[in-house]
Each structure stands twice: as structure tokens, then as C-alpha cells.
Amino acid sequence: MAGLGFGGIILGRRSETKARPLEFYARLELLIAASAALSPLLIWAARHLYIAIEAFEPHILWQKKFLEVRKACYSSLQNPRAAQASRDLDDFMRQEASTADVVALTEEIEQGSGSKNHASSQAEGTDFRP
């Protein structure tokens, strides 16, 4: 119903300015019929997309685009996995943001490996640090 209301508001004025308003209306009806004819194909495609995404559960691809599509698919179908898909995407984005800073990531890796080398060398009684 909202589509009819918005269509009337937006296209109502435009149809009044047309030289052949009946032809304009007929073209709109053809567009509506074409979209209705394509809807089974879209439903079929969405079903197969859902099946393809679900095949990866619970070991999903950890890639941004896949996680976005997965979240959108589950959300649009109101699938119970939508909440987990949203959390997975949020976790990925947090981790991606933390790894985007190369300098900070390099320092963290160096600190982690430095503390391991130091701890193991202390246990053996030798220190191999430069």
C-alpha cells in the first residue's frame, strides 16, 4: 500500500505533464507485470544463496564480503542464525580495525615474541637477546 501512495505522489504529477498519460500508465503497468514475473526467479535465487551460505555453517569463510552477505541473507529471512551472523561480522570488523594499524600490530607481535624468548631463555639460564 505504501508503494501505491508513494507512486501516486511521485508519478501523479509526472503523468499530468505527459502528452499521452494513458500510454505512460500502460508502461508503468508493464513494469509492474515484469517485476511480478521476475519475483519467482528472485525467490529461487535467494533460496539457493541461502542454501549455499548455510553449507558453510558452522565453519564459515572469514572474509568481509561473505560475512556481510551471510548477515543480510539470514536477516532478510528472519533466520535464527542472523544474530550470530551479526556478531561474527562485528568481530571481524573489530579485528580488521586492529590489524589495519601495521605499526601497532608489528609492535604487538614483537612484544609477544620478545617476551616468549625472554621467558624461555630465563628458564634455560641463558639469554639470547641482542
81: cell is 542464525
Residue 29 domain-assigned (yes or no): yes
Whether pLDDT at 127 is above 70 = no
Say yes or no: 80 and 108 in one domain: yes
- Give me the number of domains the chain comprises: 2
- Mean of the pLDDT values across residues 19-41? 88
Measure the CA angle with vertex 71, ends 70 and 74; round to 5°. 80
105, 99 contact by CB (below 8 A): yes
User: Among 41-50, 77-86, 87-96, whose mean pLDDT is lowest?
Assistant: 41-50
**Domain coverage including residue 23:** 7-55
Whether pLDDT at 86 is above 90 = yes
Closest by Cα among 61, 41, 99, 97 to 71: 61
Residue 112 domain-assigned (yes or no): yes
Say yes or no: 89 and 44 in one domain: no
Residue 91 domain-assigned (yes or no): yes
32: cell is 509492474
Say yes or no: 91 and 68 in one domain: yes
Closest by Cα among 61, 56, 86 to 74: 86
Say yes or no: 49 and 97 in one domain: no
